[in-house]
Amino acid sequence: WGLTPMNSFLGNKAILSGPAGGVVGYAETSKSDHSNLPVIGFDMGGTSTDVSRFASDYEHVFETTIAGVSIQSPQLDINTVAAGGGSPLFFT
């Protein structure tokens, strides 16, 4: 069910591995023989929120920027916002 076989696992394949597990989880639990509508994943944690999409196949990107650092490695297309359920919000 995982995206990377254990015997070929490398550190660069672990980028966003937690949120990627969430994508696999909602993709598997939302499968239906009656509909192939895309599903949007919304995973809000304490400090960040991850958003992704599943439409019958896992969507990959091969280059992304995380925290200002450019990364060239295949990974699931997951967008992270630095705002979660425990993030303080102030209005001035």
Q: In angstroms, rounded to a whole number, what is the distance separating the alpha carbons of residues 78 and 59?
A: 9
With a cut of 80, say whether residue 67 has pLDDT above it: no
For residues 17-23, average pLDDT:
87
With a cut of 70, say whether residue 33 has pLDDT above it: yes
Q: Which residue has the higher pLDDT, 88 or 46?
A: 46
Q: In angstroms, rounded to a whole number, what is the distance separating the alpha carbons of residues 88 and 29?
A: 32
pLDDT band at 32 (very low <50, low <70, confident <90, very high): confident
DSSP state of 55: S
User: Token pair 């958003």 is at which residue?
Assistant: 51
pTM over 0.85: no
Question: What is the distance in angstroms between the CA of the first residue and the CA of the last residue of the chain?
Answer: 47
**For residue 16, what are its two tokens?**
């966003």
